[in-house]
Chains A and B, each alone.
Chain A
C-alpha cells in the first residue's frame, strides 16, 4: 500500500472533570488513513469517537500522541504553519442547524474559508467560486442570498459540505454528517459524499453510529469502545467475521430491515452498562458486559494484536474466538 495520508499514533485526550477526576475520552488510539479511502469510526454515544475526530483536526489540544499529516506532526506546528495545513483538513459537522451561522447569508457562509485564507481579492471571482461550490453540492445561484433558516436539514448539510470543500481540501472529517437527517435525505447526502470523493480524490474520516451506513461508505472500519479502538479491519471482513465480543454484539443489535431474517437470526443481547470513563481502572473496558470475561480481563488491558491480514483486535481471548473453541455463533449480522 501507499504511504498513509494521515497517521494517528497513541492519541490521548483526557478532560479534567473535578478534583482528581480525569475523564479519559480517548485513550491511546492508533490508525492510518490512506489517500482516497474512507475510514469509518463507529461506536456508541460517549465512546469518544467525536472527541477523536476533533482532536485529530486540532480543535482539542491532545493530552498525548501525534497526528502526522504529510510527514509532519500537526501538533508541533506553529500557528502560521497550522493555518496552512487547515486548508487541507476540513470538517463536516453533525447538526446542520447549529453549525451554520443564522445571521449571515449562504454565500458568506460558503466563502468564509476563502476570506480567512485570502484566496480571492476580486469579489466577482469569489462569487463565481461560491456558485461553483453550490452547484457541486446540488444547490444553485438562486440560493446565494438566502439565510440558513430558509433551508431544510438536507440542504443545510449540503451548505456545510460546500463550505468544507471551498479550499479544495485533501482530507475531510465527517462527524456524524447524516444522523440529524431523515432516512430518504441520508441517502442523498451519502451519495453526494461518495460522488465528491470520486470526483475530487478526497479522503474521509467518517464518524458515525449508524453501522449499516458506515459499512456502505467505508473501506476500513475502527470500532471504538470507551476510548479505545477494540477492532480494526476492512469493512467487509469486519461484518463477515467480527472477532471482538463487543463488535459481535454491536452487529447483532442492528435491526435488519427484513422481517424474516431479522426474526430468525441469532442475537446477542448485552447485559449491563458501559463502565464510566472517569478514572477507569487498568482493565479491558468491555469487561463489565463481556459474555466471555476471564480473570485476566479485569487486571490487564488487552493489547492491539494483528490476527489476520489487515485485521486487528484488542481482546485477551481473540485466539480462542478465532479457533472456535468458545461455543458461539461468530457471524450474527
Chain B
C-alpha cells in the first residue's frame, strides 16, 4: 500500500521558563492511503502536539522540532517554508478541531468561511464558489443548506457548526484529514451523526484520516489501526482487532479495562490505573509507565523498551514482551 504520510522519529519540545517540556519524544508511524489511524491517550500525552506538528501549527518558539522527519508524499514537511505550508494546509492536509464554536470565525458568514480557501487558491467566481459551498454543506447533511450559508456561527447549533467545520476541511479534497477530538464537545446522539458523516466522506473521497481521541468506543467504531500514546511515546500499535482483542502492553490493557463495557459486573471494582502520568519536564529515563505498572521490573526503570513485534502490524514497547523476557522469568538474565 502507498504510504501517504511517514513520520520518522519525531520529537517536539517546548522551551519554557521552567525548562524544556518534551511533549513528543521520538515517535514513528505511517498512514496509508484511505485508512483511518487512531491515536489514543490521556490528556497531556502529546496527541494534540503530534497532530499540530504535522501541519506546522505549533507556535515556534516556544515549540521546536527536536529531531525527526515528517514525510508527506515523500517530502519533508519540517523543512518547508511558511509559504509552502500555506499551499499544503487546507489543500492537501486539513484539520477538524475539538471545539467548533471556538474555531469558526464568529464575525463571518459560514458560507464565506467554507469557500475562503478555494476562492483564494483556485480563483473561483462568486457564483461557482457559492454553488460549491451549498453542495459541500449538503454532503455533510446540513438541511436547508442554501439558507445556512448566509448565517453566522452563533445561529447554528454546535452539531451544525461541526458539520460546517468538516465542510471547510473537505472542500478542497484533501489527501489527509486530521481530526483532533472531533466529537468531544458534542452529545452522544450528535456524535453518532458526525461520525457517520466522516465515514461517508471517507468512503466517497478515499481520504486518509488521523483520528485523535481519548474515547475507545469511537476508536472501535472508526479506525483501521490504533496507536496508543503515553507520555510522548507510542506504547502499542496494531490493527484495531489485534489491539482490542489482544492488548500486549499493560497500559493498553488497563486503559481498556477502565471503561465499563457491555458485560460489566457491578459488584466488581473498575480496573483503575493508580497514580497519574509522569511530568514531562523531567521525563522518565526508562519506560514512562514504570511507576504505574503492576508488572514493572528492574530493567523498566532505566531502560527504554524497544519495539517487540507480535505480527507484521502489531507491536508493543514493553520489556515483558521482549523475546528474552521469558528466559529472565525462568532465572536467566537480561
Chain B hits for A185, CB < 8 A: 42, 272-273, 276
How far is A253 from B187 in the complex, measured between Cα atoms in Å? 9
- Contact A183-B214, Cβ < 8 Å, known A254-B188, A263-B221: yes
Contact A258–B259 (Cβ < 8 Å): no
How far is A79 from B287 in the complex, measured between Cα atoms in Å? 57
Whether A283 sits at the interface, judged by CB under 8 Å, is no
Chain B hits for A258, CB < 8 A: 220, 244, 261-262
How far is A1 from B221 in the complex, measured between Cα atoms in Å? 41
Whether B151 sits at the interface, judged by CB under 8 Å, is no
Which of these, A190, A194, A213, A262, contacts B221 with CB under 8 Å? Answer: A262
Which of these, A252, A257, A260, contacts B217 with CB under 8 Å? Answer: A257
How far is A273 from B158 in the complex, measured between Cα atoms in Å? 10
Contact A187–B217 (Cβ < 8 Å): no
- Contact A255-B215, Cβ < 8 Å, known A45-B187, A152-B276, A216-B270: yes
Chain B hits for A274, CB < 8 A: 157
Chain B positions 208-238 with a Cβ under 8 Å from a chain A Cβ: 214-221
Whether A95 sits at the interface, judged by CB under 8 Å, is no
Contact A182–B271 (Cβ < 8 Å): no
How far is A188 from B272 in the complex, measured between Cα atoms in Å? 5
Size class of B's contact patch?
35 or more
Contact A186–B187 (Cβ < 8 Å): no
Encode contact with B along A4-27: 1 for CB under 8 Å, 0 otherwise: 000000000000000000000000
Whether A199 sits at the interface, judged by CB under 8 Å, is no
Contact B220–A256 (Cβ < 8 Å): yes
Chain B hits for A257, CB < 8 A: 216-217, 219-220, 244, 256, 259, 261
How far is A190 from B259 in the complex, measured between Cα atoms in Å? 11
Which of these, A186, A188, A259, contacts B240 with CB under 8 Å? Answer: A259
How far is A188 from B244 in the complex, measured between Cα atoms in Å? 22
Which of these, B189, B220, B241, B260, contacts A253 with CB under 8 Å? Answer: B189
Contact A255–B220 (Cβ < 8 Å): yes
How far is A158 from B147 in the complex, measured between Cα atoms in Å? 49
How far is A143 from B5 in the complex, measured between Cα atoms in Å? 47
Whether A237 sits at the interface, judged by CB under 8 Å, is no
Whether B159 sits at the interface, judged by CB under 8 Å, is yes
Chain B hits for A249, CB < 8 A: 189
How far is A45 from B264 in the complex, measured between Cα atoms in Å? 26
Chain B hits for A129, CB < 8 A: none
Chain B hits for A260, CB < 8 A: 241
- Contact A253-B188, Cβ < 8 Å, known A191-B272, A216-B266: yes
Measured between C-beta atoms, what is the minimum distance from A75 to chain B in Å?
31
Measured between C-beta atoms, what is the minimum distance from A46 to chain B in Å?
8
Encode contact with B along A108-131: 1 for CB under 8 Å, 0 otherwise: 000000000000000000000000
Of the candidates B219, B274, B276, the one having the most CB atoms from chain A within 10 angstroms of its own CB is B276
Encode contact with A along B162-197: 1 for CB under 8 Å, 0 otherwise: 000000000000000000000000011111110110
Whether B255 sits at the interface, judged by CB under 8 Å, is yes
Question: Which residue of A has the minimal Cβ distance to B188?
Answer: A253
Whether A209 sits at the interface, judged by CB under 8 Å, is yes
Chain A hits for B221, CB < 8 A: 255, 259, 262-263
Chain A positions 137-185 with a Cβ under 8 Å from a chain B Cβ: 152, 154-155, 182-185
Whether B254 sits at the interface, judged by CB under 8 Å, is yes
How far is A45 from B191 in the complex, measured between Cα atoms in Å? 12
Size class of A's contact patch?
35 or more
Measured between C-beta atoms, what is the minimum distance from A39 to chain B in Å?
15
Question: Which residue of B has the minimal Cβ distance to A180?
Answer: B43
Whether B269 sits at the interface, judged by CB under 8 Å, is yes
Chain A hits for B86, CB < 8 A: none
Chain A hits for B73, CB < 8 A: none
Whether A44 sits at the interface, judged by CB under 8 Å, is yes
Contact B244–A187 (Cβ < 8 Å): no
Chain A hits for B266, CB < 8 A: 216
Contact B272–A44 (Cβ < 8 Å): no
Measured between C-beta atoms, what is the minimum distance from B291 to chain A in Å?
13
How far is A270 from B271 in the complex, measured between Cα atoms in Å? 33
Whether A82 sits at the interface, judged by CB under 8 Å, is no
How far is A186 from B270 in the complex, measured between Cα atoms in Å? 10
Contact B258–A184 (Cβ < 8 Å): yes
Contact B188–A250 (Cβ < 8 Å): yes
Which of these, A152, A256, A263, A273, contacts B261 with CB under 8 Å? Answer: A256
Measured between C-beta atoms, what is the minimum distance from A40 to chain B in Å?
12
Chain B positions 116-159 with a Cβ under 8 Å from a chain A Cβ: 157, 159
Measured between C-beta atoms, what is the minimum distance from A150 to chain B in Å?
12
How far is A235 from B22 in the complex, measured between Cα atoms in Å? 44
Which of these, B43, B215, B260, B271, contacts A215 with CB under 8 Å? Answer: B260
How far is A44 from B193 in the complex, measured between Cα atoms in Å? 14
Whether A200 sits at the interface, judged by CB under 8 Å, is no
Question: Which residue of A has the minimal Cβ distance to B197?
Answer: A269
Whether A211 sits at the interface, judged by CB under 8 Å, is yes
Chain A hits for B196, CB < 8 A: 269
How far is A256 from B274 in the complex, measured between Cα atoms in Å? 24
Whether A330 sits at the interface, judged by CB under 8 Å, is no
Measured between C-beta atoms, what is the minimum distance from B164 to chain A in Å?
14
Encode contact with A along B245-266: 1 for CB under 8 Å, 0 otherwise: 0000000001110111110101
Whether A72 sits at the interface, judged by CB under 8 Å, is no
Chain B hits for A273, CB < 8 A: 157, 159-160
Measured between C-beta atoms, what is the minimum distance from B333 to chain A in Å?
33
Whether A3 sits at the interface, judged by CB under 8 Å, is no
A-B contact pairs, 8 of them (CB 8 A): A45-B187, A185-B272, A190-B272, A211-B188, A215-B260, A258-B244, A273-B160, A333-B262
Sort A-B residue pairs by CB-CB distance and give the 9 closest, nearest first: A255-B217, A187-B272, A44-B187, A184-B273, A187-B258, A253-B192, A257-B216, A187-B270, A188-B272
Q: A154-B276, A254-B188 are in contact. List 13 more A-B contacts (CB 8 A).
A: A44-B190, A182-B42, A182-B214, A184-B255, A209-B187, A211-B188, A212-B264, A216-B266, A253-B192, A254-B217, A257-B256, A257-B261, A258-B220
